[in-house]
Every structure is written in C-alpha cells, then in structure tokens.
Amino acid sequence: MATKKITIEEAVTNDEFEHFDEAFLPSIKPRYGDYLSARLHLDHVGRRLEDMDREGIDVQVLSLTSPGIQSVADPKAAAMSARRVNDSLAEVVAAHPARFRAMGALPWINPEAAADELERAVTELGAVGVMLNGHTHGAYTDEARFRPVWERAEALNVPVYLHPIQIAGQWANCEGYPELIQAAWGWAFETGTHFWRLVLSGLFDAYPGLTVILGHMGEFVPFSLWRFDDRFAWIAQTRNLDHEPSYYARHNMMATTSGVCSDEALLCTQAALGTDRILFAADYPYQFQQQAVDWIEAAPISTADREAICHGNAERIFKMG
C-alpha cells in the first residue's frame, strides 16, 4: 500500500501575478511551458486535483509562486495584494478541505501590516504557515525592521518557508552562464545564504521557537554544517550567538525534498538534520509529481522514516492532525 503523501511546496498564481509566468515560460522548453500553463493558475484546480489523484498525492499545501508579494514595491499595494491572495487561497481550501491547505502570503515590505496579515491568515483563514519568497527588493529579513513579523510567527507557532528568488544583484562569475544563476545552482546559494543571515543576526536566539523551512534538500545548508562551525570559530567577529551555527539548522530549520529526487542527497540530509526535520515536497508544477512519488517510494530508507517524511512531519509542523 502506498504511503500517504502531503506535499508542501506547491505553487499557484492568479491574474494579478500571471505576468511572472509569461516572462518565465519563454526561457524553458515548450513541453514544460505547456505543462505549467495548464496547471499553475488557481483557475486550474480541477487539473491539479486530477494530477494528485492519478499520481498519489493526498494533500497539497498551496502557496503563491515566486516572487509573489515580494515583487510589489508599494507598501500599501503590497498589503492589499496579500489580502486578496490569502482570501483566494482560503476559498480553494474551503472548497476542497480534504485535499488542500495554504501558506499565507505577506507584504514584508510593510512589516507591521505583514504581522497583522499573518495573524489574520492564520486565525481567520486557517493558513498553516508563511511563504517568504526571498528578499524584498534587496532587503533580507534579518534586518531589525522585520522582527515584528518573526515575533508574530513565533507567537502563532507557524513555520516560515524560505523560498528561492533571483539574487538582488549580479554574480560576475555567472556572466555568460545563465544556467548557473537560477534553479540548478544560484537559487540554492541565494536561499541558503539568507538562512545563514538569519542565524548570524541572532534571530533564533531572540525567537527560539521559530521554524524556517528550506526546500531543495536544504539549499546546501545540511552539507555545510561542520565547515561552517569550524570556520565560524576561527573568524574574529563580535557575534555572540548562544550556540554554534549548526545548532540552529538542527533546531530551527526543516528541509524538504522538493525538486531533488536523489538518494544521496536524502541520506546526507537525514544524517545531518535527522528524519524528523525532513518534509516531502514535489515543487509542483515546476517539477513532475510522479517523479517525486516514484522516487520516495523506492528510496533506501525505513518504512517508519518514509511515513514521517511523507506525511507525519508535515502533520506535526502544520498541525494537520
């Protein structure tokens, strides 16, 4: 019997943000563009449910696709946009309560409004977490002005999913090689760096109950823990963290399998973080669900570990019961 599966990095868009898809689609092969176009928009929930039924996904946790609200420069407009997105997501969840949950979209550019929208999304709309699509117009969320949002997330006991976004500037060593800038390499470094900024800023000492989720097997973080601790101890600096850096990865971070169907990466992440810190995800529709399902069912892990990764950990962290 197949293992129950909850996937948690499953993207949607709406009319307000569809222009991002239109800009992205020409950069990929037509067959993948056609697949995305038929599934990403909230209007295509029926096709999404058909795929879930056929491919063995019990529940998807929906979130607004990157860059989402982070793309809106005006603080007031961002707050209004987030409210509309969260209302739309809640409508889809209410129509299919056994199949969907949602993560809230927040106007991080307006931290006070973001904290209030987070509370509304969780307490009134039933959101189970927050989707944060990287920096907000170059501002990373370790900055002190974002602390009210983090404080509210800890108080509400909901995780924040730290999702990739295009780097704010340019990498000279990637010039002429666009393959390095996006999902194959650059996005992981960008997102992993954002997490380490949160660690080094003392965020998790201030709010030790926070949980941040990183996709794609932890965006390089699980593979760097020993060296990060070792070099951190050597560097002359004034950061007075309560613990060595790896502690925060093992206590405040969870990793998902989204977009990485690799036994080697899974076993390394499992050894680095522990089974209880890994969540199954497909990254639908940017990845094929069937590929993720077939891989996790055959992965060289125990039945108990497979159950935890595929649904048990998600039920715990998102309080899905």
Location of structure tokens 């039920």 = 315
- Orientation of helix 245-252 relative to helix 225-234, angle to 10°: 140
Least confident of 34-43, 44-53, 94-103, 217-226: 34-43
The domains found in the chain, sorted by start residue, are 6-317 (3.20.20.140)
Structure tokens belonging to residue 238:
């004034």
In this predicted model, what pLDDT tens digit does every residue of 197-213 receive, in sequence order?
999 999 999 999 999 99
- Which DSSP string do the residues of 167-205 spell out, in sequence order? -SS--GGGTT-GGGTSTTTHHHHHHHHHHHHHHHTTHHH
* Strand extents, DSSP E, the chain: 6-12, 59-64, 100-105, 129-132, 160-162, 212-214, 253-256, 278-279
- Which two three-digit tokens encode residue 45? 């929930």
Q: 227-278, pLDDT tens digit by residue? A: 999 999 988 777 889 999 999 999 999 999 999 999 999 999 999 999 999 9
At residue 240, what is the residue type?
A: N
Active site residues: 283
Q: For residue 97, how many other CB atoms are within 10 A of its CB? A: 11
> pTM to 2 decimals?
0.95
With bands split at pLDDT 50, 70 and 90, how would you rate the model's confidence at 157?
Answer: very high
pLDDT tens digits, one per residue of 35-63: 888 899 999 999 999 999 999 999 999 99
pLDDT recorded at residue 34? 84
